Structure 1
Amino acid sequence: MPARLIARAALTLGAVAMLLGTTAPAAAQSVLRDAETESLFRDVARPLIIAAGLTPASVQIVLVGDPEINAFVSGGQNIFVFSGLIENADNVNQLQGVLAHELGHIAGGHNVRSNEGIGPATHISILSLVAAVALVAVGAGDAGIAALGLGTATAQSQYLAFSRDQESRADQAGAVFLGKAGESGRGSLEFFNKLLGQEYRLGLKQDNAYNRTHPLDGQRIAYLEAVYKASPAWTTPPDPKLDARFQRVKAKLAGFIEEPQRTFQMYPEGLKTEPARYAHAYAYHKSAYPDAAVAEVDALLALHPADPYYLELKGQILLESGKIAESLPILRAAVAAAPTEPLIATLLGHALVSTENAADFAEAKPLLRKAVVRDRENPDAWYQLGVIYDREGDTARAALATAERFDLQGEPRQAAANAKIALRGLSPGTTDWLRADDIAQVAQNDLVKKKHR
Structure 2
Amino acid sequence: MSAASDPVKRRPGSERRLILRAPRAVAAMVACAVAATAIPTPAAAQRMPLIRDAEIEQVLRDYTRPILKAAGLTQQNIKVIIINDRAFNAFVMDGRRIFVNAGALMESQTPNQIIGVLAHETGHIAGGHLAKLRTELSNASTIAIITMLLGLGAVAAGARSSQVGGNPAAVAIAAPSAMIQRSLLAYQRQHEEQADRAGVKFLTETGQSARGMVETFKRFSDQQLFAAQGADPYLMSHPMPRERIAALQEIGRTQYWDKKDPPELQLRHDMMRAKLSGFLDQPGVVARRYPLSDQSLPARYARAISTYKHSDLRQALAQIEALIQAQPNNPYFYELKGQVLLESGRAAEAVPPLRRAVAGAPNPLLIQVMLAQALIATNDKKAADDAIGYLRQALVADPDIADGYAQLAKAYGQKGDIAQADLAAAQAAMARGDTRTARQLAMRAKERLPVGSPGWVKADDIASFRPPTEGGRRQ
TM-score interval (norm. to shorter): 0.7 to 0.9
Distance 2:129 2:215 in 1: 25
Equivalent position of 1:139 in the other structure: none
Cα displacement string for residues 147-179 of structure 1 (whole angstroms, at most 9, x for unaligned residues):
xxxxxxxxx9xx979521211111111111111
Distance 1:225 1:197 in 2: 15
* TM-aligned CA distance change 1:170 to 1:325, over 3 Å: same
Superposition deviation, residue 449 in structure 1:
4.4
Equivalent position of 2:444 in the other structure: 421
Structure with greater Cα Rg: 1
* TM-aligned CA distance change 1:38 to 1:23, over 3 Å: closer
SS at match of 1:110: coil
Asked if structure 1 preserves the Cα contact closer than 8 Å seen for 2:228 and 2:240, the reply is no
Asked if structure 1 preserves the Cα contact closer than 8 Å seen for 2:423 and 2:459, the reply is yes
SS at match of 1:62: strand
Which of 50, 54, 60 pairs up with 1:35?
A: 54
Superposition deviation, residue 49 in structure 1:
0.5
Distance 2:419 2:456 in 1: 9
Cα displacement string for residues 95-143 of structure 1 (whole angstroms, at most 9, x for unaligned residues):
110001001110111122479xxxxxxxxxxxxxxxxxxxxxxxxxxxx
Q: TM-score, normalised by structure 1?
A: 0.80
* TM-aligned CA distance change 1:286 to 1:212, over 3 Å: farther
Superposition deviation, residue 287 in structure 1:
0.5
Asked if structure 1 preserves the Cα contact closer than 8 Å seen for 2:82 and 2:99, the reply is yes
Asked if structure 1 preserves the Cα contact closer than 8 Å seen for 2:119 and 2:200, the reply is yes
Equivalent position of 1:380 in the other structure: 403
Matched, 1:99 2:123: no
Which of 227, 240, 257 pairs up with 1:216?
A: 240
Distance 1:260 1:211 in 2: 43
SS at match of 1:79: strand
Equivalent position of 2:470 in the other structure: 448
Equivalent position of 2:3 in the other structure: none
Within a 5 Å distance, the mapping from 1:133-152 to structure 2 comes to none
**Which amino acid is 1:72 matched to?**
F
* TM-aligned CA distance change 1:185 to 1:326, over 3 Å: same
Matched, 1:74 2:89: no
Equivalent position of 1:176 in the other structure: 201
Query: Highest relative contact order (Cα 8 Å, sep 6+), 1 or 2?
Result: 2
Which of 105, 108, 122 pairs up with 2:127?
A: 108
Q: Could you list the runs of 5+ residues in structure 2 that have no partner in the other structure? A: 1-14, 16-21, 135-180
Equivalent position of 1:272 in the other structure: 295
Which of 452, 459, 466 pairs up with 1:436?
A: 459
Superposition deviation, residue 24 in structure 1:
7.3
Equivalent position of 2:338 in the other structure: 315
* TM-aligned CA distance change 1:268 to 1:433, over 3 Å: same
Within a 5 Å distance, the mapping from 1:3-402 to structure 2 comes to 26=39, 30-55=49-74, 57-113=76-132, 163-199=188-224, 203-206=226-229, 208=231, 209-210=233-234, 212-229=236-253, 231-338=254-361, 340-402=363-425
Superposition deviation, residue 378 in structure 1:
1.1
Asked if structure 2 preserves the Cα contact closer than 8 Å seen for 1:386 and 1:401, the reply is yes
SS at match of 2:256: coil
Asked if structure 1 preserves the Cα contact closer than 8 Å seen for 2:381 and 2:414, the reply is no
SS at match of 2:92: strand
Distance 1:235 1:56 in 2: 31
Distance 2:306 2:37 in 1: 32
Distance 2:443 2:120 in 1: 44
SS at match of 1:254: helix
**Which amino acid is 1:78 matched to?**
R
Distance 2:403 2:185 in 1: 41
Distance 2:75 2:218 in 1: 29
Question: How many residue pairs get matched?
Answer: 394
Q: TM-score, normalised by structure 2?
A: 0.76
Cα displacement string for residues 156-203 of structure 1 (whole angstroms, at most 9, x for unaligned residues):
9xx979521211111111111111111110111121222234346xx4
Superposition deviation, residue 360 in structure 1:
2.4
Provide the aligned C-alpha RMSD in A: 3.0
Distance 2:419 2:360 in 1: 34
